[in-house]
Structure formats: structure tokens, C-alpha cells
Amino acid sequence: MYEFTYIRPGSLPEAAALLASNEGAKPLSGGMTLIPTLKQRLSQPSHLVDITALAALKGIAVVDGRLEIGAATRHIEVATSSVVRQSLPALAALAAGIGDPQVRNRGTMGGSVANNDPAADYPSAVLALGATVHTDRRAIAAEDFFQGMFATALEPGELIVRISFPLAERAAYAKFPHPASGYAMTGVFIAVVGGAVRVAVTGAGPGVFRWTQAETALQARFESAAIADLEVDATDLNADIHAPAAYRANLVRVMALRALETILTSSKGQ
């Protein structure tokens, strides 16, 4: 690791000021992506601003019919929260499947969404549910937030404060995990919000994307037969040592079918 200065500010304005006044400063949340990156010397921040103690970035609550989750909330807290389990069980289940116990004990929702790894789990939920990302400057719709591989709408020094999820009538996530890391080789989140079906895919492409063909098909009839024969175009999908693009294209349909199966067989549809 290159040298840096570690700071743990006591308030959100203080954190924002530190990030604004030091061009090389970076927020540090759970560190589950950032610290391995620093260990490989792939990044050289001047300061790490630890945001995990900030009260403004904490907490899980349902407010005015929406589930609000602070950016510094750890995966384990989302997975085990009774509020999340009751209001949006698909999100709790997704969090319970991120990485491994050690990663879930440290990693945070804000860090995962800000990082926008093309194989991360949370971005699929944020996009499928049409969540809103609240930063210290503005509110950003999921649609505008994710901008391809590791790219987001965040400006330098901008901090995610919380993410606001509408409560889906029905939702489920299915992923085919990479056997070593747990990251999604392909993951599909299906949500029905206000009667509209949305299907988001992670892991398969260069960034999270909506599978609109499946959305249209499921809007017409919400059953497996509607998507069982859809072909996914492999042209823009990822190919690497783990799987060729055609394999991932097939996984998109298979994971969508599994998520749908979960919705159709569980009582509350989640």
C-alpha cells in the first residue's frame, strides 16, 4: 500500500469538507473493495475518510411507504434486519448471499453501489426496484445512477447518504455465484412495483442493465412460459476465463426463471 492519511470525521458536513478540500481523498466504507485495491497498489489516495461512524449514513426504516437504508449499513445488517425482512424480503435474501460472512460483516450497501462492480449484487436490486440514491448533494434515480463498468453519476467527493427503495408488491433475486468469490456470474432481480414489472441483470454485461424483452413478456403474463423461450443476445455480454458470453446469455434466462419461480411459489410473492 502507498502511504495515506486516515481520518474519521464526526459529521457528514465535516466528511464532505474533507473530501472537497483534498483532491486525492477517498471515502472509506467497509473497505472490502477499497483495501484490496490499495494492497495491489492500484489506487493511491492521499486521505481515506472513514464514513462508517457517521450517524447520517446509518439506519434502516420504513418511512412513508418506502424502505430507507443508510449508505454505511453493513450487508449483515440488511440480511438480518426484521424491517427489511418484512418490507422487502428479496433485498434481505440478496444481502445474505453477498460474498461470505467476513465480507458481509464489513461491506456496506453504499460502498457496493458507489463501486458499481459489474458483478455486484446490490445494483440489480437498486435498478429493478427503481430506487433513489440520495447523496449529500441531490437525489439520483437508479436509471441515471449506473453508467456502465465501475462508472456512476457520482461526482468527485460526492457521498451516497442513503438509498430509498419503493416497497415492491412482489420481488425476488436469483444469482449464479462465482464459486470462489460469490460475486454474480449472472444475477437477475425481478420486481413488481406499482403493477409494473422490472427485470435487472447483473454480472452478465459490462454493467447492470434492464432486460426489457422479459419485462414486456412478463407484463403480459406473469408466468414462466412467458420468458422460457426468450433468446438473450450475447453480443455485448462479458466473456472471461470464468465463462464465455453465450454461457452468460443462457444464465440470464435461467436466473430470471429461478427468480420468477421464487416469486410464484412464495406466499407474499417475495
Name the residues that contact ligand FAD, by CB under 6 A.
26-34, 36, 51, 71, 98-99, 103, 107-108, 110-112, 114-115, 117, 120-122, 154, 159-160, 181-183
**Nearer Cβ to ligand FAD (99/197):** 99
Beta-carbon contacts of 252 under 8 Å, excluding residues fewer than 6 positions away, are 186, 188, 201, 204, 211, 232, 237
Assess 4 for contact with other proteins (CB under 8 A).
Answer: yes
Please answer whether residues 248 and 268 qualify as being in contact, where contact means their C-beta atoms are separated by less than 8 angstroms. no
Quick check: 212 binds other proteins (CB under 8 A)?
no
The three cell numbers locating residue 239? 466473456
The upper half-sphere exposure of residue 47, i.e. CA atoms within 13 Å in the direction of its Cβ, equals: 19
Amino acid at 167: L
Q: Which does 48 bind (CB under 5 to 8 A by kind): ligand FAD, other proteins, none?
A: other proteins
- Contact of residue 76 among other proteins, ligand FAD, none (CB under 5-8 Å per partner type): other proteins
Report the alpha-carbon distance of residue 164 to residue 126 in Å, rounded. 9
Residue type, 55: A
- Considering only the stretches 103-111, 123-131, 201-209, 261-269, report the one whose residues sit in contact with other proteins under the rule CB under 8 A: 103-111
**Phi, psi at residue 28, to the nearest 5°?**
-115, 120
Nearer of residues 1 and 196 to other proteins, judged by Cβ: 1
- What minimum distance in Å lies between the beta carbon of 100 and other proteins? 3
Written as nine digits, the cell of 93 is 435474501
The residue from 42, 64, 101, 156 that contacts other proteins (CB under 8 A) is: 101
Number of other CB atoms surrounding residue 44 within 10 Å: 12
Q: How far apart are CA 54 and CA 40, in angstroms?
A: 28
Minimum distance of other proteins from residue 88's CB (angstroms): 21
Residues that bind other proteins (CB under 8 A): 1-6, 8, 28, 31-32, 35-36, 38-40, 48, 50, 76, 99-103, 105-106, 180-182
